[in-house]
Amino acid sequence: MMSIKSIPMMMTWSRVVLIPVFLICYYAPIEDARFWAGLAFMIAAITDWFDGYLARKMGTDSKLGAFLDPVADKLIVAAALIVVAAEYHDNIYVIISAVLIMMREIGISALREWMAENNAREVVAVSNLGKIKTASQLAALTWLIYGGTLWGVNWGELGFPMLYFAAFLTVVTWIQYTKAALPEIIRSTES
């Protein structure tokens, strides 16, 4: 029986489950396939914002949840970046943005894991700029996955500048977190 306290963990797992749902919707030969894929991705993005908040608010945060949450985030974003890069393969800026974002996500995840092993995870805790990067990245990917016009707005066209903005913030926060971790890195190599 599911208790209310398990909702944050269920939200984290839902992001992993939504990966094949998003991919099936995207490539399905159905009407409005990209709309449904964008909706599935958007739901995953929303759970990204709420699961950690709810876990802390409900006092149900755990080491497992703290570990799985960023893993689920990286998996859904990587799947979306691959789809978007494949869809817009003739746009070099999309490809460069996707590669930069994936490199940073993997690099910073590794850095955070290493810092946690050295009891210094708080040094590379998510910054406000990192949150803006994530929000712009998730918005850009949702819009590019959908790629259509809704309510008189061409979401696909809005997705390109938002993705480039997210890529810019990706590089800035990559430097920010690396710079913050550098003293610990230097200290560990000297001992």
pLDDT digits over 10-20, tens only?
888 888 888 99
Indicate the class that CATH gives domain 4-186: mainly alpha
> How does DSSP assign 127-187, residue by residue?
PHHHHHHHHHHHHHHHHHHH-SEETTEEHHHHHHHHHHHHHHHHHHHHHHHHHHHHHHHHH
138: amino acid identity, one letter: L
pLDDT of 61 strictly over 70: no
Quick one: pLDDT at residue 144? 96
CA–CA gap between residue 11 and residue 7 (Å, rounded): 6
CA–CA gap between residue 159 and residue 135 (Å, rounded): 12
pLDDT digits over 97-110, tens only?
999 999 999 998 88
CA–CA gap between residue 66 and residue 143 (Å, rounded): 28
Q: Are 72 and 12 in contact (CB under 8 A)?
A: yes
Average pLDDT over residues 134-150: 92
Of the listed ranges 32-41, 74-83, 105-114, the one predicted with least confidence: 105-114
Task: Kindly report the backbone phi and psi dihedral angles of residue 88, in degrees, each rounded to the nearest multiple of 5, phi listed first.
Answer: -110, 40
* Polymer length in residues for the chain: 191
Q: Are 50 and 72 in contact (CB under 8 A)?
A: no
**Percent of the chain residues topping a pLDDT of 90:** 44
Within 8 A by CB and 6+ apart from 85, the residues are 94, 95, 98, 99
Quick one: pLDDT at residue 136? 95
pLDDT of 3 strictly over 80: no
| Six token digits for residue 27 | 């490539």
CA–CA gap between residue 155 and residue 100 (Å, rounded): 22
Which residue ranges make up each domain of the chain?
Answer: 4-186
Average pLDDT over residues 131-160: 91
Average pLDDT over residues 19-25: 92
Average pLDDT over residues 53-60: 73
pLDDT of 112 strictly over 80: yes
